[in-house]
């Protein structure tokens, strides 16, 4: 296939391959998250439903780009004078412009649904804590307003709106300004809302009662949003322009990359279970050994009451005993960073 100048050597087939590759990565991470949740909690939570919705939106984006890519490359080639203009081309261009409008809106929606998944998580944790809930409400309102602002700039990018679907009808200086401003406004709203959501996690961290190394590990999990912020910045840098409309080919590539990274970031906290596995299993094995040892040396077992066993490991032992020795359930309950566990720690 012909290579379009200014597209970095991308062809329709290479772009489509890249799109489905990043979607496949997002699907794998989502399946991992759901597997951990189902195995650890025996159920999916509301934030999992939000991640599933974001994944469906991502797959929808990929399908739409699969259909739009040939038309998109044709539009770019005609615009650059690399291909002759024909009347049937205008029909295909109109279809592409309609798809492009829908893709942009779908992209924002997917990104903001991922934000909703984090907000749902913090809402469940902060429930009953007025000080933290106030901050959560402010962040939720700001996140909703930034999504509405994206819509406002998109609708203002071409007046009247039907002109948006006519090739060459939105080429005034005013239209180009609002079209490109939409890119930057959406990026700023995206980045700032991500920072505010991460701030909720760090505020929560200051309230938790745990060892310093555990706080550092949890802080790293709450800060995974920085990964997505990096890709959001790269997306703007790669496709941002000032005097002309953005190149739709680069826009397609970086839109799909950022949308996929957003889902991966939402799933990364689930990997905590892998790192907790060895430590928790070691603690659990020691707790069970200690329980058996105490039982064998208890007064009721040998009548000796003069040498009580030290209680250095009392936390693990008592937790195991309280749960009736259900060690496997204890391991998964401790390893999984779920709302109930953190909320109970906050209320101590």
Query: Residues 6 or more apart from 5 whose CB is under 8 A from it?
Result: 80, 82
Q: What's the N-to-C CA distance of the chain in angstroms?
A: 64
Question: Is residue 300 scored above 60 in pLDDT?
Answer: no
**How much of the chain exceeds pLDDT 70, in percent?**
75
Question: Is residue 178 scored above 50 in pLDDT?
Answer: yes
Find the mean pLDDT for residues 156-182.
Answer: 84
Q: What pLDDT is recorded for position 275? A: 56
Q: What pLDDT is recorded for position 308? A: 43
pLDDT digits (tens, 9 = 90+) for 94-116: 999 999 999 999 999 999 999 99
Tokens 């699969």, residue located: 66
pLDDT digits (tens, 9 = 90+) for 66-81: 999 999 999 888 888 8
* Helix or strand holding residue 186 (H, E): helix 173-207
8 A C-beta contact, residue 200 and residue 136: yes
Long-range contacts of the stretch 231-237 (C-beta < 8 A, 24+) = 231/257, 231/258, 231/261, 232/187, 232/190, 232/191, 232/194, 232/258, 233/187, 233/191, 235/187, 236/183, 236/184, 236/187
CA distance 149 to 42: 39
* 178 token code pair: 């609002």
CA distance 28 to 20: 12
Full-model pTM: 0.77
8 A C-beta contact, residue 288 and residue 320: yes
Give buried/exposed letters for 33-60 (b at 16+ CB in 10 A, else e).
bbebbeebbeeebebbebbbbbbebbee
pLDDT digits (tens, 9 = 90+) for 2-51: 445 445 578 999 999 999 999 999 999 999 999 988 887 788 999 999 99
Q: Which residue has the higher pLDDT, 281 or 323?
A: 281
What totals of helices (H) and strands (E) does the chain contain, helices first?
Answer: 13, 0
8 A C-beta contact, residue 99 and residue 67: yes
Q: How many residues does the chain have?
A: 348
């Amino acid at each position: 296939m012909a290579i379009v100048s200014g597209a970095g050597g991308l062809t329709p087939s290479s772009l489509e391959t890249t799109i489905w590759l990043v979607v496949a990565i997002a699907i794998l991470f989502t399946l991992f998250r759901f597997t951990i949740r189902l195995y650890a909690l025996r159920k999916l939570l509301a934030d999992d439903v939000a991640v599933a919705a974001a994944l469906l939106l991502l797959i929808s984006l990929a399908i739409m780009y699969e259909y739009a890519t040939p038309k998109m490359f044709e539009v770019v080639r005609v615009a650059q004078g690399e291909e002759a203009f024909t009347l049937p081309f205008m029909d295909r261009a109109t279809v592409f412009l309609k798809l492009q409008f829908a893709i942009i809106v779908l992209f924002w929606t997917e990104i903001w649904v991922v934000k909703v998944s984090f907000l749902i998580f913090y809402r469940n944790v902060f429930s009953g804590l007025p000080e933290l809930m106030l901050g959560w409400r402010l962040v939720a309102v700001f996140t909703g307003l930034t999504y509405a602002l994206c819509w406002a700039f998109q609708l203002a990018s071409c007046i009247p709106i039907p002109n948006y679907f006519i090739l060459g009808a939105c080429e005034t200086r005013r239209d180009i300004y609002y079209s490109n401003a939409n890119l930057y406004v959406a990026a700023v709203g995206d980045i700032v809302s991500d920072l505010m959501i991460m701030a909720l996690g760090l505020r929560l961290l200051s309230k938790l009662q745990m060892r310093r190394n555990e706080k550092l590990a949890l802080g790293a999990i709450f800060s995974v949003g920085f990964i997505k912020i990096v890709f959001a910045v790269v997306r703007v840098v790669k496709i941002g322009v000032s005097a002309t409309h953005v190149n739709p080919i680069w826009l397609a590539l970086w839109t799909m990359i950022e949308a996929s990274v957003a889902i991966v970031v939402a799933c990364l906290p689930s990997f905590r279970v892998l790192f907790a596995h060895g430590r928790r299993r070691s603690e659990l094995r020691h707790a069970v050994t200690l329980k058996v040892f105490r039982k064998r040396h208890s007064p009721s077992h040998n009548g000796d009451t003069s040498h009580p066993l030290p209680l250095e490991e009392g936390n693990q032992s008592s937790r195991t005993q309280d749960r009736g020795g259900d060690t496997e359930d204890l391991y998964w309950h401790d390893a999984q960073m779920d709302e109930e566990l953190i909320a109970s720690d906050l209320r101590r």
